[in-house]
């Protein structure tokens, strides 16, 4: 009898083990904005890859760092859910999810914050900085997604550390997006 019970239990639990994980939380990029010309996916890949290749590129340029952080958060969900990227290397998609975690940790963003809130806040901060309105930039960073004071988050954006996982993930996303992954 114990053998049949064990077999029955395994048969009952097997479907649970095969149940796929829900897709990662995904944001949308706004359609407007002079900074977002052309394909939003290509913009996000290029922005993130450029910014996270070298911290010197965003040093004292928090607007660029905020856009790049928003791009990573967007891509982490979007590359895993959009049919366009179905053929992308699954390892790159996992790397981008880890990159999202790393960027969020660096900026003091709640790990399970809704991606849309994070992306919208970071892009609003970047837009305010582009308009030379630091008060609005700080206001964009004052919401439940951010655990640090807005001033501290803005300081981090102006002095982004080297984020190795994010650097590698964005490099691979760029290569995969251009069909050049086999070169690495």
Residues 6+ apart with CB under 8 A from 125: 62, 63, 66, 137, 140, 141, 154, 157
> What pLDDT is stored for residue 155 in this prediction?
98
> What pLDDT is stored for residue 36 in this prediction?
57
Quick: pLDDT tens for 27-79: 888 865 555 567 889 899 999 999 999 999 999 999 999 999 999 999 999 99
Its pTM stands at: 0.84
Any idea where the domains of the chain sit in the sequence?
40-183
């Amino acid at each position: 009898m114990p053998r049949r019970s064990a077999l029955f239990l395994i048969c009952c639990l097997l479907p649970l083990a095969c149940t796929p994980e829900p897709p990662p939380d995904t944001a949308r990029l706004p359609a407007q904005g002079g900074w977002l010309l052309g394909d939003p996916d290509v913009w996000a890949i290029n922005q993130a890859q450029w910014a996270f290749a070298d911290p010197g590129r965003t040093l004292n340029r928090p607007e660029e760092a905020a856009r790049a952080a928003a791009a990573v958060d967007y891509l982490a969900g979007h590359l895993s859910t959009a049919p366009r990227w179905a053929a992308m290397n699954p390892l790159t998609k996992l790397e981008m999810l880890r990159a999202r975690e790393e960027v969020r940790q660096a900026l003091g963003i709640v790990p399970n914050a809704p991606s849309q809130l994070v992306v919208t806040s970071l892009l609003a901060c970047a837009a305010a900085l582009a308009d030379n309105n630091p008060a609005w930039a700080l206001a964009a960073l004052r919401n439940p997604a951010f655990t640090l004071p807005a001033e501290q988050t803005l300081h981090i954006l102006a002095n982004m550390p080297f984020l190795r996982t994010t650097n590698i993930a964005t490099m691979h996303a760029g290569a995969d997006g251009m069909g050049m992954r086999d070169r690495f």
